[in-house]
Amino acid sequence: MASRSGTGDSSVSSAAGSGNERTTQLLVLGAGPGGYTAAFRAADLGLAVTLVDRGAALGGVCLNVGCIPSKTLLHAARVIEEAREMSAHGIVFDPPRIDLAELRNWKDKVVAKLTGGLAMLARQRKVEVVRGTATFVDPHVVEVATDNGSERIRFEQCIVAAGSSPVALPFLPEDPRVIDSTGALELRKTDGRLLVIGGGIIGLEMACVYEALGARVSVVELTGQLIPGCDPDLVAPLAKRLRGRYEQVLLGTKVTSVSAENDGLHVAFEDGKGSSTQVFDQVLVAVGRTPNGKLLDCEKAGITVDERGFIVSDKQMRTNVAHVFAIGDVAGAPMLAHKASHEGKVAAEVAAGLKRHFDARVVPSVAYTDPEVAWVGLTEGAAKAQGIAFEKAAFPWAASGRALSVGREEGFTKLLFDPETRRVLGGAVVGVNAGELIAEIGLAVEMGADAADIGLTIHAHPTLSESIGMAAEAFEGTLTDLYLPRKKRAT
């Protein structure tokens, strides 16, 4: 799944204080990518830091049940897929024999290595780690419900990095065959018919894994497009590929009920034309995530939480209570680990007295599907909605030697430019390794590079990264790898 940042669900504690009380300069609630980054940075700046997390291992959703394990499984899926693809070109493998226990074990080892590394980094910095679920008691005290009762922590400043939780659909039955993203990573059953409810990034990533491991996958999405909010042209190559491999891709379709029967899960659908029922062996729910802001008794500290559960913070990540900061998923969309860790650094530095602001222009988004879809900065949809003038240039991978040689020519690279300054405002990549390629465009936006800056930078040949330079050249009218209409050619 995509790079989720938070620490996941936390439950409300109502235990009475046991009289234990420790004090700290900076309390960090949540040890996801935002929280641990904030804690470590603040410790490096000389603050005494206490890090509270409910999980057994540091790292939050991202490391434990999010980005990292999902990417491990996606790699496995990719290998299976590539072996299958080569059969068309004379290299024929037998169908793979899949040992789920071993695969799960490998994934767990990757996670353990990373979270263990975090624990080590915390020790080296003398960051005190408390396992438990924290709730505010007043503006300077939290109560932490731990396995051994509860204790109070008095703090001078606090960074809330409490993350988000998967949204549950109210009508779903309690049944082991109904799973969320966390359950999906456990790989309990990877064959039979799987329905993925939610055509967003998380749902499609898990669909990709399960399809490679042998499941017959259907995806149902309420809106009319996979990855809602993404520019439609970016989704088209992915949608085309998925339609060829999945049993069904149901768009504009609502799931109205799921009933657990002995022969499977009976799922009722409703679209514009009518309703129908199908039976599935498993249902994976990935309909979004909701911030954990309402689980912390924020009102006792006077911290404002909006009706959706986000804790509102300013450009220095301060909440309405000046000594309390909020970062990551709980502070607002996009709910992405790399946004959280950047915010975590800003909050830690401000807490330590530095004059920092969240001044990043853009936050990249990546769907680690097959093909990958990645975008950063201005999108066409946002530009049209906000009336921002732009010109676009694209380079289709069908003209890229490298893309052809890896057998994946469905991708393309697109850049959006300011017509006046010719600076790049945003861009997108669809295709294998798009998530890696998007970095260059992000750097270009942050640096204020214009089309000539990108086009005149020599990109190695043959690479997929060339496509970014070529898209810029297409805008400049200097591209030779495609035949451009005369009016677009530069002299």
Partner 1 sequence: MAGNEIHVPDLGDFTDVLIIDVLVKVGDRVEVESPLITLETDKATMDVPSPRAGLIAAMHVAKGDRVSTGSLLATLEDEGAAATAPAAGGAAPATAAPTIAKPPAPAQPTTDAAPPEQDAAKVKSEESPGAATPSPARGPQPSPAAPIDEAAFAAAHASPSVRAFARELGVDLGKVRGSGRKGRVTGDDVKAFVKAILSAGAPSPAAAAALPRVPVVDFAKFGPVEVVPLTRIQRISGPRLHASWVNVPHVTQFEEADITELEDARRSLKLRAANEGIALTSLAFVLRACVLALQKYPRLGCSLDAGGQNLVMKKYCHIGFAADTPDGLVVPVIRDADRKDVFELARSLGELSAKARTGKLSAAEMQGGCFTVSNLGGIGGTAFTPIINAPEVAVLGVSRAAQKPVYRDDAFVPRLMLPLSLSYDHRVVDGADGARFVAFLAEALGDVPLLMATLT
- What CA–CA distance (Å, rounded) separates 120 from 59? 12
- CB of residue 156 vs partner 1: minimum separation in angstroms? 4
- What CA–CA distance (Å, rounded) separates 39 from 54? 16
- What CA–CA distance (Å, rounded) separates 356 from 351? 10
- What CA–CA distance (Å, rounded) separates 138 from 154? 9
- 13 vs 64, which CB is nearer to partner 1? 13
Active-site pick, 75, 323, 338, 461: 461
- CB of residue 46 vs partner 1: minimum separation in angstroms? 6
- CB of residue 447 vs partner 1: minimum separation in angstroms? 5
| Residues with Cβ within 8 Å of residue 44, at least 6 apart in sequence | 125
Find the helix packing angle between 466-476 and 434-447, rounded to 10°: 50
* Residue 313 tokens, joined: 């913070």
* Residue 192 tokens, joined: 């039979």
Whose CA is closest to 59, among 134, 1, 8, 9?
Answer: 8
* Residue 174 tokens, joined: 């309690």
| Contact in structure between 59 and 32 (CB atoms under 8 Å) | yes
- 20 vs 320, which CB is nearer to partner 1? 320
- 268 vs 452, which CB is nearer to partner 1? 452
- 136 vs 395, which CB is nearer to partner 1? 136
- What CA–CA distance (Å, rounded) separates 63 from 317? 23
- 221 vs 450, which CB is nearer to partner 1? 450
In the annotation, is 461 catalytic?
Answer: yes
- CB of residue 282 vs partner 1: minimum separation in angstroms? 44
| Contact in structure between 5 and 340 (CB atoms under 8 Å) | yes
Whose CA is closest to 37, among 28, 24, 46?
Answer: 28
| Contact in structure between 111 and 69 (CB atoms under 8 Å) | yes
H helix runs in 130-194, sequence order: 181-184
> Which pairing describes strands 149-160 and 282-285: parallel, antiparallel, or unpaired?
unpaired
Whose CA is closest to 179, among 275, 63, 284, 250?
Answer: 284
- CB of residue 13 vs partner 1: minimum separation in angstroms? 15
- 172 vs 444, which CB is nearer to partner 1? 444
> Which residues share a beta bridge with 427?
376, 415
* Residue 446 tokens, joined: 């942050």
- CB of residue 19 vs partner 1: minimum separation in angstroms? 11
* Residue 474 tokens, joined: 């297409």
- 47 vs 226, which CB is nearer to partner 1? 47
- CB of residue 347 vs partner 1: minimum separation in angstroms? 12
Please report, as ranges, the residues that interact with partner 1 according to CB under 8 A: 25, 45-47, 138-141, 154, 156-157, 299, 301-302, 304, 314-316, 318, 320-323, 352-357, 359-361, 421, 423, 446-448, 450
Active site residues: 461
